[in-house]
Structure 1
Amino acid sequence: MKVAVIGNSHLAAFKLGWGLISEEYPTIEATFFGSPANTLHRLEVEDDRLTTRDQKLNKSLIWTSGGLDSIGPDYDRYVLVGMGFSFPHLMAILRHHRPVQYYRGGDEALISDACLDEAMEQTLSDSTAVRTIDKIRRITDAPITYFPNPFQTTECQTKEDFWGLEDARDRMMTFYRAGIARLLDPFCSVVEQPEHTLASPFFTQPEFARDAVKLKRGMKAMYEENDYAHMNDVFGAHALRKVIGGLTP
């Protein structure tokens, strides 16, 4: 089975994780296509392929894939990783904007509940993940599996106070789950992170962020200790095992 694995910075954990477990799956040929942040939104559909005129994205595709500068329609399955569809992205709205019930007297701008709902909607519906799923559907009918951004580790609660807003967490998790059902489920299979990697319904266990590596050429540059969003190769291996368990020829 030929599988294209496409993602943003979170692809690093998957790419390194595949190195740990690839021998367990001799019938699977995985090719990785990645680029940090939201740069994958610059992919374009051209001649039944996903390609780009952006030089930085082009170079990133080449080195992550081992020489390919575009993504073709000839894979048996497409696995998408991260790219902005996430519960942490919804929570991050509260960094600078909050309805009155979540306001704690800081510098955040006050917004209405309707404004918060619209911001959450745009965060999910306009994510690079949703855009890329649509582009893949324009070049192939092959099955697509999507693995959302992982939850941040429990340690993130010491970094920004909004993580402690329990009512906000519940509200945004409900919106996130509804977004999966509405924006993803009709178009792809969603595989969420393995339960044993979670510390709670909202957070990942800290051990899975230890020594996380950036998606940069050489795959040696590590994230700072106060980065709680990116996971390591062990997490990537666990996630891939769960993804592969749901694949069918």
Structure 2
Amino acid sequence: MMNLIIFGNSHVGAWREAWPTLAPDYPDINVTFFGIPEMIHRRYRIQDTGVFSALKISDDERKRVVDINGFDQVQLKDYDRHLWVGMNWKPENAVMITTSGDPDTIEDASTGRPAYSKPFLKAIFELQAANILRDSRVNLDGSIRPDMHPRPIYAEECQSSLHPLYDVWRETADIGSARSAILGYYEEIIVDYFSRQGLKFVPSPMGLRSSSGATKSEYLSAGGGIASLRTPASRGDFSHMNAEYGRVCLKNYLDYYFT
């Protein structure tokens, strides 16, 4: 029996919801989930002892974590494999480049726009990958080296929001092919960079995305989207996905690494 722990922030929820439908197909894998609200998750670390626990947590926060998971910390050494879900990989940094030019690999690069070469993009994206790893809180000298799964790319609906968080998605809505291409290359560079550090970065499957690179609308969690049609500038929630999204991601991970 392989014991797998899937831990991280609130994005773990979609994976947790999906597991009951997948479990019968993986009788030799036991999965434990540990998901924490992001504001609390930011204070969690993998300790030298292998325990994933909070540096600081209030009684109310601890109760909230326990209510969700049944426990407030987890000994990662008790598991054979570890997957940290919800890492902020900052895809907006890659998308922002398409506001001024196209990757030179796409055939329909807009006339008159600069075409950025792969070596140029690679140099930029490797710096981004190093920053992502630094911010991930993974200790490369520690005994626990979890696989890393990024937070979802925002759902397509974010392009209708007037909130500043989604400006770059709205501004690039008409150049979806460039956006999709550059996101794909960005992921390739992160995967390669993490691999050279002895880590696995596990991108979400391409089938979850529209041709523009954003997550397809059908995977947005119920209640997601603009908070109110009367307040199009509200932040809303275009990041949390449903159980079907979690099922596709989890099946992809299990099939790739365990079969």
TM-score (norm 1): 0.69
Distance 1:185 1:23 in 2: 35
Which shows bigger deviation, 192-201 or 159-168? 159-168
Please list every run of 5 or more consecutive structure 1 residues that lacks an aligned counterpart in the other structure.
103-116, 212-221
Alpha-carbon contact 1:38-1:83 (below 8 Å) kept = no
Please say if residues 153 and 203 of structure 1, whose CA atoms lie closer than 8 Å, have aligned partners that are also in contact. Answer: yes
Match for residue 140 of structure 1 among 140, 144, 149: 144
**C-alpha contact (below 8 Å) 1:4/1:30 kept by paired residues:** yes
Larger radius of gyration: 2
Kindly report which structure 2 residues correspond to 1:106-121, keeping only aligned pairs within 5 A, or say none: none
What is the CA-CA distance between 1:209 and the residue it aligns to? 0.6
- The secondary structure found in structure 1 opposite 2:76 is coil
1:227 paired residue number: 237
Alignment partner, residue 158 of structure 2? 156
Whether contact under 8 Å (2:220, 2:238) holds in the other structure is: yes
1: distance between equivalents of 2:126 and 2:207? 29
Q: Who is 1:30 aligned against? A: 31
* Structure-2 separation of matches of 1:50 and 1:164: 39
Equivalent pairs: percent with the same residue? 20
1:35-77, CA deviations, whole angstroms, 9 ceiling, x for partnerless residues? 2336434223143323223215655553443225233312110
User: Counterparts in 2 of 1:67-216, with a 5 A limit?
Assistant: 67-88=71-92, 90-91=94-95, 94=96, 101=100, 124-127=129-132, 131-134=136-139, 138-140=142-144, 144-159=146-161, 160=167, 161-164=170-173, 166=175, 169=179, 171=182, 174-184=185-195, 186-200=197-211, 202-211=213-222
Q: Describe how 1:59-70 pairs up with structure 2 within 5 A.
A: 59=63, 61-70=65-74
Instruction: Indicate the RMSD between aligned Cα atoms, in angstroms.
Output: 3.7
1:245 positional shift: 0.7
3-state SS, counterpart of residue 81 of structure 1: strand
Question: Which residue matches 2:164?
Answer: none
Counterpart secondary structure, 1:134: coil
State the Cα distance separating 1:9 from its structure 2 match: 2.3
Q: CA deviation at 1:79?
A: 1.1
Contact 1:150–1:229 at 8 Å: present in 2 too? Answer: yes
Return the TM-score normalized by structure 2: 0.67
In the TM superposition, residue 89 of structure 1 has moved relative to its aligned partner by 5.8
CA contact (8 A) 1:87 1:173 kept: no
* C-alpha deviation, 1:82, in angstroms: 1.8
SS of 2:253's equivalent in the other structure is helix
Aligned-pair distance for 1:178? Answer: 1.7
1:55–1:237 distance in 2 versus 1, CA, 3 Å: same
Taking a change above 3 Å as real, the CA distance of residues 74 and 224 of structure 1, as seen in their structure-2 partners, is: same
Residues 3-58 of structure 1: per-residue CA shift (max 9 Å, x gap): 11012221111111113322332322211122233643422314332322321565
The answer to whether the 8 A contact 1:11-1:82 is kept is: yes
Q: Is the 8 A contact 2:53 2:72 kept in 1?
A: no
Note the residue ranges of structure 2 that are not aligned, 5 or more in a row. 102-121, 162-166, 227-235
Deviations 1:127-183 (CA, angstroms, capped at 9, x unpaired): 478634436x61336xx4322222222222222333337397355653443233113
SS class of match (1:2): strand
